[in-house]
Amino acid sequence: MSRLTLLVLCALVAAVASVDMCATCTTMCGDARANFKNTWGPVTVNDLKTFMEQDCKNKFSGAEGLACKAFVDQKSSQMLDDFKAGLTDQQICVKGGICT
């Protein structure tokens, strides 16, 4: 690994670590609840994914935005199941591995 690659990787990790991802995750879950009026029956995984990806763009840029989008892409299906099951925003984020 070159020094430049290592420096870029360190900068990326530092940038993502500087954001309180747990608080942002719970806020984004709340945004989704408001957008879909907490009515999950007609919502598809793609609907949730599209909304959450836009929320990532609205809240983050650069490395944080990419990390957010990757998380949403990977977890949208589970998140929708969790919303439908009545989990709280905090529980969803804990289950997704963002909060402890």
44 pLDDT higher than 70: yes
Residue predicted with more confidence, 18 or 98: 98
Domain that holds residue 42: 20-95
Which residues, 6 or more positions from 67, have their beta carbon under 8 angstroms from its beta carbon?
16, 60
Asked if 89 and 33 count as a contact pair (C-beta separation under 8 A), the reply is: yes
51 pLDDT higher than 90: yes
Within-domain flag for 36: yes
pLDDT digits (tens, 9 = 90+) for 8-36: 455 445 444 446 889 999 999 999 999 99
Q: What is the pLDDT of residue 20?
A: 85
Q: Is 90 left (phi over 0), alpha (psi -120 to 50) or beta?
A: alpha
Within-domain flag for 56: yes
Please tell me the total count of domains within the chain: 1
Within-domain flag for 8: no
Could you tell me how many helices (H) and strands (E) the chain has, helices first?
5, 0
- Note the pTM of the prediction, 2 decimals: 0.80
